[in-house]
Chains A and B, each alone.
Chain A
Amino acid sequence: MSALRMPRVATVQFKPFRAKGWGRVAFLVVTSVLMLVPMYLLIVSAFKSQQDILQHPFSLSPDQLTTEYLRKAATNPDFNIGKGYAVTILFVVSVNVLSVALAGPVSYVIARRSERRYRMLLLLFVAGTFIPSQVLVIPVVYTLKFLGLMGTIPGFVLFETTLTLPFSIFLYAGYIMTIPASLDEAAAVDGAGKHRVFWSIVFPLMKPAVVTMVILNTFSVWNDFVNPQIILGPGSGLYTVTTGVYAAVSQYSTDYTVVFPTLLLAVAPLLVVFVLLQRHVISGLTAGATKG
């Protein structure tokens, strides 16, 4: 996994005050502007009227700005954003807790046992990363119906947790193998059971791997659209931030006084988390991108 760490080391030091160096910076500044323009439009348009957005999309005159539309979006009858945040945070926390609780112990067994069947078990789990979830959700609907869990919070959380298992187990098992087994043997001699050895000795040492997975799972659950849309469906009345945005925006996609404020409210929490924890988030999400 070493290739996935966020690079912090300099290889080439660019000397300041060189014409070439300034060309590079100028080019990057132009690119940054292109990258940030949609975000700029999203933020300023959330405070403007439809006419103002269309005629002067880039302008920012303080006397024209209003929080009226933002307040309207926050109290939209189609999508209660406060409840959306609450539901999504509930899902994020449940999936993270359940994912660690399930993937941790099984990864420990896989990492510490050398028998062939445990290697096969790892292969079975890792094979799960090859299944695209947008397609898997179709038969899962019928499995959940059979179990009586279709359209319910437990059904959704269990499926979303399952999607986290393959990469979690792959990452955790690899990480535990780097922790010396002599540590848990010493604890076992002192009479601690396997569960106890794992949770009190090994688990605290797995922190970097767990942090990576928690970041990855938080963003993937928060941003997931197809799974909550299909499993929870419009009938259940349960909206995550993403399915709520879909419900609120897709019918009024040309009323920009609805679109921009709603989108801004949906992305604001994640952007704040990203800015505060950017180094961890970038390395976590990049590790996730390579799970294929």
Chain B
Amino acid sequence: MRARLTTNLTTLSMVGPALVLFVVMLVVPVGLSLYLSLTDWDGYSANPAFVGLKNYVSLTHSAEAIRAGWVTLLIAAIGTVLLSVLGLGFALLVNGASRLNAFFRIVLFYPHVLSALVVGFLWSAVLGTSGVVNGWLTSKGTEVLPFLSDPKWALASLIAVLVWAGFGVNVVLYLAGLQTVSKDLLEAARIDGASKQQTFFNVTLPALAPVVTVNLVLSLVTLLKTYDLVVSLTGGGPAGSTQTAAYLILWDSFHNNALGFGSAQSVVLMVITAGLALTVARLRARADRGVQA
């Protein structure tokens, strides 16, 4: 009896600290978000009023929130396609164990090491209206380009910088996937006289299918959370045209003191992200089974 109690206490002392911290800093706050999303809290008043689903209803009427939603989806969709295509393309180009390939892999990957905030400031200094590129164009007597000052250009620049900073990760993931392609099959295709294109589309690509899926969904989940780069590259502008969901949520919660409304947006973003992350997990489980089969 006593021995069993000691065992239980030992187990508790190993599980307890992590579990308590996790509950206090993650489970409780998520619950708080859910609760706040049903109130009109401004962040200060002692007694926030319960308003039911009002915040969720106003979400569907808010032009700003809807635009941020579309901007986020557009970034996620275009960004995901570019990251995956460039990721696979460059993985095929730098596959192989030469020193030169190792160098190229590092060069393609290094922006991922930098904080998104720094990357944004760096590119805004390069692309800004009075930035390096435009300063250079002016000194050459050419007209400046509105990289960050025109709504459409700014969104395109944001996506381009996201891709520049991120596709190295996709390259590495695809490289890992390429190592799992059966060498016997590649050899057999070569002996049968298949062209490089035929081998790629009929042997390599089908074998990479699970990796492709994982890459697509991972990029999507990451891009849906885009925040830091917006702060430092465009500041959400011009005229709010590059505000993402995460940007607007933090803005509404802390600058507009609309915590209830901000929380409702958070809950929607969390549900979408969790839905996609669950999809990743399920696809990954299927991919693992595929690799074993």
A residues with a Cβ closer than 8 A to B are 3-14, 24-25, 27-28, 31-32, 35-36, 38-39, 41-42, 45, 53-58, 101-103, 105-106, 108-109, 113, 121, 124-125, 128-132, 134-136, 138-140, 142-143, 147, 158-159, 161-162, 165, 169, 193-195, 198, 219, 222-226, 230, 242, 245-246, 249-250, 253-254, 256, 259-260, 263, 266-267, 270-271, 274-275, 278, 281-283, 285-286, 289-290, 292
Contacts and interface: CB of A to CB of B under 8 A. Distances in A.
A4 B194 CA distance: 30
Contacts of B108: 31-32, 35
Given A195-B10, A225-B117, A292-B221, A6 B249 contact: no
Interface in B204-245: 211, 214, 218, 221-222, 224-225, 227-228, 231-232
B29 A263 contact: no
A142 B269 CA distance: 20
A7 B262 CA distance: 43
B177 A3 contact: yes
Contacts of B109: 282
B137 to A, nearest CB: 10
B274 to A, nearest CB: 4
A286 B121 contact: no
Contacts of B178: 7, 11
A124 B94 CA distance: 39
A39 B107 CA distance: 11
Contacts of B254: 138, 230
A121 B20 CA distance: 12
B145 to A, nearest CB: 14
A132 B128 contact: no
Nearest to A256: B125
25 contacts: A4-B176, A6-B175, A7-B176, A8-B97, A11-B178, A35-B107, A35-B110, A38-B164, A54-B138, A56-B136, A102-B21, A105-B17, A105-B18, A135-B266, A135-B269, A136-B30, A138-B249, A139-B28, A139-B33, A225-B115, A242-B115, A242-B117, A242-B118, A286-B169, A292-B277
A58 B117 CA distance: 23
A54 B274 contact: no
Interface residues of B, number: 100
A3 B96 contact: no
- Residue from the set A31, A138, A226 with the largest chain B CB neighbour count within 10 Å: A138
Nearest to A147: B24
Contact of B128 (A7, A108, A254): A254
A135 B246 CA distance: 7
A246 B117 CA distance: 8
Contact of A139 (B30, B95, B274): B30
Interface stretch (B49-57, B61-69, B149-157, B179-187): B179-187
A105 B14 contact: yes
Given A57-B132, A139-B263, A253 B124 contact: yes
Given A140-B25, A289-B169, A267 B11 contact: no
Contact of A289 (B121, B218, B270): B218
A4 B173 CA distance: 7
B285 interface: no
B121 A271 contact: no
B232 A246 contact: yes
B123 to A, nearest CB: 7
B257 interface: no
A281 B113 contact: yes
B60 interface: no
Nearest to B227: A134
Chain A binding surface, main DSSP class: helix
A31 B225 contact: no
Contacts of B114: 223, 267, 270-271
Contact of B113 (A14, A162, A219): A219
Given A12-B96, A24-B93, A285-B113, A143 B24 contact: yes
Nearest to A220: B115
Given A161-B21, A271-B113, A286 B172 contact: yes
B142 interface: no
A64 to B, nearest CB: 15
Given A13-B96, A226-B227, A285-B113, A35 B14 contact: no
Contacts of A57: 132-133, 135-136
A139 to B, nearest CB: 4
A41 B136 CA distance: 13
B76 interface: no
B22 A162 contact: yes
B4 to A, nearest CB: 14
A161 B24 CA distance: 12
A53 B32 CA distance: 49
B45 interface: no
Given A134-B227, A242-B118, A14 B175 contact: no
Nearest to B139: A55
Given A11-B183, A35-B164, A136-B30, A41 B132 contact: yes
